[in-house]
C-alpha cells in the first residue's frame, strides 16, 4: 500500500509528529495533490496552542498549499468548465463546502460566515483524511475549487500564501480610495500583503507600525513610505508620528493586522475624522479592551468594519495578480524560510517568535 508522510498536531500544546499514513482511495470527482509547498502562518501557531474553536484534533495543518495534481478520479473542472489534467500546477481554495443554501449565504451574502463551511488544515482534522498541506500528498475532496497556477512560481505565490486572499479582502473592505494615506498596524505576512494591495488600489502613501525591525524593513521594501517600531515606541510617540505623517489629521484608512486587542482602539485613534478602520487581525480571542465611545468612535464619525475569512473571489484574484509579473513583483522581495516536514516544530517556534518573514513547509524535501 502506498503511504504518505504528514505532519500531525495530535492535540493542543503537543509537538508536531511526522506520521506515515495510507494514501487514500479517491471518491468520484476528487484528486490527489502532490504538495510542493505549504506554509506556517499565525493560524498554525494558534492551532498548536489550542487557541481556535472547533478544531477536530488530531489534524494536519497547512491550509494554503501549492503543487501538482498527481491523480484525478472522474472530473475536476475549473470555473470556466475546463477540466484539470494530472500534472497541472494548482492551488485550491482552502474553504470547502460553503453551502449556498443557508441564511448567511443567501440572505446576508456573507458566505465567509456560512456555518457549514470547512477549512482544510483548520476545521478538517485527520479523521477527514489527508486534508492539510503539511503532507506529501493532500486529498482534494469533491467540489474543492482548484485554481490553475500556470507558470506562476510556487515560491513567489507562497510568499503571499494565505495572507494574499485575507489582505485583498481587507483592503477591499476598508474601501481604500485613490490618493488615500493608509496606515497598516502589523508587519506580519497579512500586514505586508495589505501594504502591497493598498498601493495597488491607489493609496498615495502607506505607513506601517509593527515589529520586529526585520519585518519593518520588509514593509519598506514592498512600498511603505515610513515605518515605526511598536516595541520601541510609547503610545504618545506613536500618535505624534501618525499625526506628523498625515498633516495633523490621522490616516484616511487604518487596517489592523496585529492580533493584539489594543491595536483595534489604536487603529481608531490613529484614523482621521470620518475615516475608515478595518479589523482583520483579531482571528482568535485575545480578550477584551476598553474604548471611549464618544471620543474614539461617535464624535470621530468613524466607519469601523470587521473582516472575516475570504472567499473564492479573493483567492482567484490573488492568483491572477500573482500571474502578472509586474503586479506581483513586490512579493518576490519577501524573504522565505523553508522547513522540511520534520522541522515543523522549529518552524512553528520561529513564526511564533516573529523570527521569520514567511515560513514554508516543503514536504517532499
Ligand atoms: Zn494561514
Ligand atoms: Zn451557507
Predicted pLDDT at 59: 97
Asked if 81 contacts 133 with a C-beta cutoff of 8 angstroms, the reply is: no
**Mean pLDDT along residues 266-270:** 98
Ligand 2 center from residue 316 Cα (angstroms): 20
pLDDT digits (tens, 9 = 90+) for 199-208: 999 999 999 9
pLDDT, averaged across the chain:
97
Looking at all shown ligands, the one closest to residue 108's CA atom is 2
Residue 250 gets the label, from left (phi > 0), alpha (psi -120 to 50) or beta, of left
Q: Which three cell numbers stand for residue 179?
A: 490618493
SS3 of residue 33 by DSSP: strand
Q: 166: how many CB neighbours lie within 10 A of its CB? A: 29
Q: Which three cell numbers stand for residue 139?
A: 486529498
Ligand 2 center from residue 146 Cα (angstroms): 20
Predicted pLDDT at 38: 98
Using pLDDT thresholds of 50, 70 and 90, give the confidence band for residue 47. very high
Ligand 2 center from residue 104 Cα (angstroms): 6
C-alpha span between 36 and 197 (Å, rounded): 26
pLDDT digits (tens, 9 = 90+) for 113-123: 999 999 999 99
pLDDT digits (tens, 9 = 90+) for 320-351: 999 999 999 999 999 999 999 999 999 999 99
pLDDT digits (tens, 9 = 90+) for 61-82: 999 999 999 999 999 999 999 9
Looking at all shown ligands, the one closest to residue 158's CA atom is 1
- Burial label, 188 (beta-carbon count in 10 A; 0-12, 13-18, 19+): buried
C-alpha span between 61 and 44 (Å, rounded): 6
For residue 266, the Cα-to-chain-centroid distance in whole angstroms is: 22
Predicted pLDDT at 97: 95
Ligand 2 center from residue 315 Cα (angstroms): 18
Predicted pLDDT at 170: 98
Predicted pLDDT at 246: 98
Ligand 2 center from residue 308 Cα (angstroms): 15
pLDDT digits (tens, 9 = 90+) for 206-241: 999 999 999 999 999 999 999 999 999 999 999 999
Residue percentage of the chain with pLDDT more than 70: 100
Ligand 1 center from residue 89 Cα (angstroms): 20
SS3 of residue 285 by DSSP: coil
Looking at all shown ligands, the one closest to residue 103's CA atom is 2
Complete DSSP assignment for 290-312: ---IIIIIITTT-EEEE-----H
User: What are the residues whose beta carbon lies below 5 Å from ligand 1 (ion)?
Assistant: 41, 43, 162
C-alpha span between 224 and 243 (Å, rounded): 16
Ligand 2 center from residue 303 Cα (angstroms): 27
**pTM for the whole structure:** 0.96
b (16+ CB within 10 A) / e for 226-242: bbbbbeeeeeeebeebb
Residues 6 or more apart whose Cβ sits within 8 Å of residue 187: 208, 210, 211, 215, 216, 218, 219, 227
C-alpha span between 121 and 137 (Å, rounded): 13
Predicted pLDDT at 281: 97
Ligand 2 center from residue 109 Cα (angstroms): 9
Which alpha helices (H) appear in 136-234, and where do they start and end?
Answer: 154-160, 163-173, 189-200, 213-221
Ligand 1 center from residue 132 Cα (angstroms): 12
Predicted pLDDT at 1: 80
Predicted pLDDT at 232: 97
SS3 of residue 8 by DSSP: strand
Residues 6 or more apart whose Cβ sits within 8 Å of residue 151: 89, 323
Q: 127: how many CB neighbours lie within 10 A of its CB? A: 10
Looking at all shown ligands, the one closest to residue 310's CA atom is 1
Using pLDDT thresholds of 50, 70 and 90, give the confidence band for residue 6. very high
Asked if 72 contacts 31 with a C-beta cutoff of 8 angstroms, the reply is: yes
SS3 of residue 136 by DSSP: coil
Looking at all shown ligands, the one closest to residue 160's CA atom is 1
SS3 of residue 266 by DSSP: helix
Amino acid at each position: 500500500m502506498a503511504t504518505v508522510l504528514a505532519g500531525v498536531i495530535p492535540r493542543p500544546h503537543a509537538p508536531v509528529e511526522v506520521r506515515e499514513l495510507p494514501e487514500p482511495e479517491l471518491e468520484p470527482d476528487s484528486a490527489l495533490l502532490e504538495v510542493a509547498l505549504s506554509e506556517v502562518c499565525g493560524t498554525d501557531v494558534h492551532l498548536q496552542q489550542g487557541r481556535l474553536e472547533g478544531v477536530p484534533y488530531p489534524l494536519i495543518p497547512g491550509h494554503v498549499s501549492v503543487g501538482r495534481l498527481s491523480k484525478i478520479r472522474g472530473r475536476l473542472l475549473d470555473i470556466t468548465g475546463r477540466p484539470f489534467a494530472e500534472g497541472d500546477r494548482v492551488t485550491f481554495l482552502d474553504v470547502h463546502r460553503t453551502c449556498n443554501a443557508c441564511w448567511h449565504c443567501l440572505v446576508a451574502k456573507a458566505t465567509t460566515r456560512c456555518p457549514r463551511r470547512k477549512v482544510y488544515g483548520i476545521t478538517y482534522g485527520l479523521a477527514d483524511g489527508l486534508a492539510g498541506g503539511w503532507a506529501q500528498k493532500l486529498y482534494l475532496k469533491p467540489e474543492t475549487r482548484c485554481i490553475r497556477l500556470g507558470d506562476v512560481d510556487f515560491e513567489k505565490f507562497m510568499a503571499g500564501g494565505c495572507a494574499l486572499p485575507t489582505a485583498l479582502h481587507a483592503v477591499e473592505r476598508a474601501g481604500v480610495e485613490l490618493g488615500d494615506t493608509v496606515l497598516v498596524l502589523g508587519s506580519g505576512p497579512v500586514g505586508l500583503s495589505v501594504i502591497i494591495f493598498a498601493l495597488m488600489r491607489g493609496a498615495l502613501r502607506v505607513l506601517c507600525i509593527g515589529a520586529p525591525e526585520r519585518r519593518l524593513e520588509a514593509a519598506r521594501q514592498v512600498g511603505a513610505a515610513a515605518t515605526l517600531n511598536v516595541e520601541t515606541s510609547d503610545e504618545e510617540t506613536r500618535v505624534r508620528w501618525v499625526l506628523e505623517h498625515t498633516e495633523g489629521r490621522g490616516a484616511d484608512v487604518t487596517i489592523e493586522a496585529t492580533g493584539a486587542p489594543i491595536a483595534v482602539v489604536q487603529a481608531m485613534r490613529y484614523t482621521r475624522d470620518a475615516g475608515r478602520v478595518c479589523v482583520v487581525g483579531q482571528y482568535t480571542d485575545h480578550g477584551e479592551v476598553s474604548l471611549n465611545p464618544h471620543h474614539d468612535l461617535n464624535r470621530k464619525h468613524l466607519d469601523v468594519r470587521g473582516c472575516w475569512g475570504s472567499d473564492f473571489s479573493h483567492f482567484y484574484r490573488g492568483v491572477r495578480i500573482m500571474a502578472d509579473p509586474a503586479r506581483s513583483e513586490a512579493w518576490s522581495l519577501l524573504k522565505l524560510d523553508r522547513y522540511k516536514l520534520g522541522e515543523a516544530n522549529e518552524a512553528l517556534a520561529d513564526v511564533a517568535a516573529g523570527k521569520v518573514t514567511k515560513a514554508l513547509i516543503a514536504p517532499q524535501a
